[in-house]
Amino acid sequence: MNKETDKVELLHKNYIRSLQVEKRWIRFYQAIIFLVFFSSWELFSTKQWIDPLIFSSPSKIWILFINKLQDGSLLTNLGVTLTETVFGFILGTFLGVLLAAILWWSPMISKILDPYLVILNAMPKVALGPVLIVALSPGYPSIIAMGAIISVIITTIVVYTAFKEVDPNYLKVLQTFGATRFQCFKEAIIPACFPTIISTLKVNVGLSWVGVIVGEFLVSSKGLGYMIIYGFQVFNFTLVFLSLLVIAVFATIMYQLVDFLEKKLIKE
């Protein structure tokens, strides 16, 4: 018995070790791709194999990054965009899950709204930007609304679909013991769909950034979206690329935070 136990433990340790080795190799190759990309970009720009005026270079972007940090403008604009994105992300996700719960709760409402959800999902939400600006006035409310509206419909559809696909036998067992509809929702639907809700958060990270940046394109005088538009207007593409890289970094950080949250909550 002890020999079998020792063998199982050894196999388990070898498996864990192989996963760790694989993870190190993945990080290594990711670092290689990162270095090759930026090194090639710098080389091509220096040799003028690409137009340095349009495509800039990593060294120029780094110098501009330091300058913008020193004068405080980068942190100010980043703070504005990050605040709008976080609020848009939270609002869009909350409203999407709430609408999905309402649709699950009332099959009649679901049947009535189903074609409209399809239409709204197909509609380019960016086109609603001018309407939101007029309705909510230029500023934070309209930009946050833009960040929320671009994710709320897809969240509603995905989460509602997950609610519907929960095994009905779970609900029948609870109803047999006299559970109310709310108790069925709390004890069966939400736990079964929790991984889907967390996965939707990951999608909403990118959608919220897109919505907020588009909103800043249209109306803002601050933020990373404003920096991009301003860079285009004055033909300063180094500023444009700096803004894009900062967006990429912080969108990745938000995504990793959601991924960390997923691992913690699902593990528990």
Whether 28 and 70 map to the same domain: the answer is no
- Enter the tokens of residue 229: 């538009």
What is the spatial distance between Cα 232 and Cα 262, in angstroms, rounded to a whole number?
Answer: 38
Whether 226 and 167 map to the same domain: the answer is yes
High-pLDDT (> 70) share of the chain, %: 95
Q: What is the per-residue pLDDT for 244?
A: 94
Which among 164, 162, 163, 130 has a CA at the least distance from the CA of 149? 130
Q: In terms of residue numbers, what domain contains 21?
A: 1-50
165, 192 contact by CB (below 8 A): no
Q: What is the per-residue pLDDT for 8?
A: 65
Whether 133 and 209 map to the same domain: the answer is yes
Q: What is the per-residue pLDDT for 9?
A: 72
Residue 55 inside a domain? The answer is no
Whether 89 and 128 map to the same domain: the answer is yes
Q: What is the per-residue pLDDT for 219?
A: 80
What is the spatial distance between Cα 124 and Cα 130, in angstroms, rounded to a whole number?
Answer: 13
Which among 226, 225, 228, 229 has a CA at the least distance from the CA of 241? 228
Helix and strand numbers (H, E) in the chain are: 12, 0
CATH (domain of 254): 1.10.3720.10
Whether 14 and 108 map to the same domain: the answer is no
203, 253 contact by CB (below 8 A): no
pLDDT tens digit sequence for 69-95: 999 899 999 999 999 999 999 999 999
Which among 264, 260, 263, 257 has a CA at the least distance from the CA of 82? 257
| Residue 243 Cα to chain centre, angstroms | 18
Task: Give residue for tokens 């099959």.
Answer: 107
Which of 23-32, 40-49, 168-177 is predicted least confidently?
168-177
**Number of residues that this document lists for the chain:** 268
What is the spatial distance between Cα 153 and Cα 164, in angstroms, rounded to a whole number?
Answer: 16
Whether 140 and 248 map to the same domain: the answer is yes
Q: Helices 129-136 and 140-164: crossing angle, nearest 10°?
A: 120
Which among 259, 101, 148, 253 has a CA at the least distance from the CA of 195? 259
- The model's pTM: 0.85
The number of domains in the chain is 2
Whether 18 and 148 map to the same domain: the answer is no
